[in-house]
Amino acid sequence: MREARFEALVRLVAGPVQRYLVRRADRDAVDDVLADTMLVLWRRLDDVPGLGDSPLDPDEVLPWCYGVARGCLANARRAEGRRLRLVERLARTTYALPPPAADHAALHEALGTLGELDREIVMLWAWEGLPPRGIAEVTGLTPNAVSIRLHRAKKSLAARLGRKNDVGAGQEQGKEGSEL
């Protein structure tokens, strides 16, 4: 019975959690962090919210699983940091992180100006499609705090990217025949 519950959970969350990790980790680390995440999910299977319900509700299960993946990714980053410090000490050289993708350089630069938590909140909202309640579960904040931080971060990003909030995407202002 435990194996069947775990298999159902993996079928539901493996793809979204892998996409979550691909956006946040080096490609070489994604599979390892995903495996660590699945191991934690197996060990804490009884703690997964909504797992006893049939059918599984992604809105209940995914935020908790993203939180587990976030913790596993943090552990992997700490381990990688320790490994890099050792290599630096041994080789007496420094290593620079690769630059963000060129086609999204402005976005990555703007995201880089946000604090780590605000950046994570924006990415959970934009790329994972989580509502503030789900983001709150992942980050440990209250839904209200998430909403406030998300609003401020979006406003900051819009200003940095030179976009105006009062113009909808794809809408052109001042064209003839566009008035209703």
Per-residue pLDDT of the chain (180 residues; tens, 9 = 90+): 889 889 999 999 999 999 999 999 989 999 999 999 999 999 999 999 887 767 788 889 999 999 999 999 999 999 988 988 877 776 664 445 556 555 677 888 888 899 999 999 999 999 899 999 999 999 999 999 999 999 999 999 988 888 654 455 544 555 444 444
Q: Where are the domains of the chain?
A: 1-97, 99-162
Helices (H), the chain: 2-22, 27-43, 58-91, 105-112, 116-126, 132-139, 143-161
Compute the distance between CA of residue 102 and CA of residue 99 in angstroms, rounded to an integer: 8
* Global model pTM greater than 0.75: no
CA atoms within 13 A on the CB side of 106: 7
Q: Is the dihedral of CA 173, 156, 142, 55 positive or negative?
A: positive
Q: Whose structure tokens read 């197996």? A: 42
134-137 long-range Cβ contacts below 8 angstroms, 24+ apart? 134/59, 134/62, 134/63, 134/66, 135/63, 137/63, 137/64, 137/67
Determine the residue type at 44.
Answer: R
Cα 69 to Cα 118: distance, rounded to the nearest angstrom? 18
Question: What's the one-letter identity of residue 146?
Answer: V
> Do residues 112 and 65 make contact, with C-beta atoms less than 8 angstroms apart?
no
Please tell me the CATH code under which domain 1-97 is placed: 1.10.1740.10
Q: Return the ∠ at Cα 58 (arms to 55 and 61), rounded to 5°.
A: 95
Phi first, then psi: give them for residue 166, nearest 5 degrees. -90, 0
In angstroms, the CA 26 to CA 62 distance is 22
CATH architecture of 99-162: Orthogonal Bundle (1.10)
